[in-house]
Structure 1
């Protein structure tokens, strides 16, 4: 008899709170979701919540910190095996759009945090900036592999297009089709290549 024993890693109360809060913030907003709701949906005691987080600001900070790390690992793993730089950029773009789409056209949690609570919770600004800086640097390093004349300008344009597409999907409540929009970005890159 070959019995397979599966052990489930028990998540800590802190992880449960972070996961619940992150999902609620993504699906709704950082302002609308209160601590009492997070406690209820996490099925933990209020004292347990405050044992791990002294305030909602600390919770939002930690949610964004974990999310940033998860995204960095996922993106870097996703594109690490790819060789051609254009393929890396396309896969980064498609991964990012699919990630936003999986949230039901609710937008990017980092954009949302900047809009919702950056002024209210100043401690998160450093995480929002780090995230944006990391994304910009990944894009620019790939564009440099393409040996373009002005990769910095193109990286900024790439981010503006990405932001615009995401914001448009939120306001119009539609999922983004990454393959179609990628064609526009690819055309811009090819134009840059032809100007060398």
Structure 2
């Protein structure tokens, strides 16, 4: 059931993206991530995007619909990146390590302020809120992806392994923001490798060839 904070239905998107809408989403991505969602008024996004208030409301009925579009946009980008990697990386284990390397690189980039999805969830505590629903959908997809890769790589318990990997990812992103990014990167990479080896009776990686 929709929550009381469900925004009004957004206008239908045009077949080709509007430049103004794209500028608003890009601006929202910058300021929401850097300054916080609730701390950022609509006027701040409008100013950053270089559009008028009328233009904003032509594309979004309110701030929450913009927040939802911002989260959904990032979700689509992450999924597309994973799909592109899957087309060029041969084995499930190699793809898993590539995804972990992507997280590690994100932790170390300038301006990193933690996981966008966890940040958004923290600002919307109601699980029924559309923003929280979008975050939950992203995490469910990521957990399923990790479980599928582990299953194809011969892991004995893919769902449990995926849950542990997601927890390691969350912890590394928090530590990368609050503490040393480089330390978080190294520890995440080591922890994932250790986790994969520990789940093999011979101590090898999940699809590492035997001698």
* TM-score bucket (shorter structure): 0.7 to 0.9
Match of 2:23 in 1: 16
1:79-98 matches, cutoff 5 A: 79-98=86-105
Pick one of 33, 39, 58 that aligns with 1:32: 39
**Can you give the 5+ residue segments of structure 1 that lack an aligned partner in the other structure?**
1-9
**C-alpha deviations, 1:45-97, integer Å up to 9, x for none?**
11111111111110000111111111110122123311122211110111123
Distance 2:68 2:89 in 1: 33
Match of 2:139 in 1: 132
Question: What CA RMSD, in Å, does the superposition of the two structures yield over aligned residues?
Answer: 2.2
Distance 2:197 2:120 in 1: 34
1:130-169 matches, cutoff 5 A: 130-169=137-176
Contact 1:68 1:131 in 2 (8 A): yes
Provide the TM-score with structure 1 as the length reference. Answer: 0.86
Q: Say whether residues 1:190 and 2:197 are aligned partners.
A: yes
Match of 2:84 in 1: 77
CA-CA distance at 1:105 after TM superposition: 2.6
Higher relative contact order (CA 8 A, sep 6+): 1
Distance 2:190 2:129 in 1: 38
Q: Which has the higher helix share?
A: 1
Distance 2:49 2:28 in 1: 8
CA-CA distance at 1:111 after TM superposition: 0.5
CA-CA distance at 1:180 after TM superposition: 4.8
Contact 1:27 1:103 in 2 (8 A): no
Cα gap change, 1:112 to 1:123, in 2 (>3 Å) = same
Contact 1:61 1:123 in 2 (8 A): yes
Provide the TM-score with structure 2 as the length reference. Answer: 0.81
**C-alpha deviations, 1:4-61, integer Å up to 9, x for none?**
xxxxxx9610010011001111122111111011111111111111111111110000
Cα gap change, 1:11 to 1:97, in 2 (>3 Å) = farther
Distance 2:131 2:164 in 1: 25
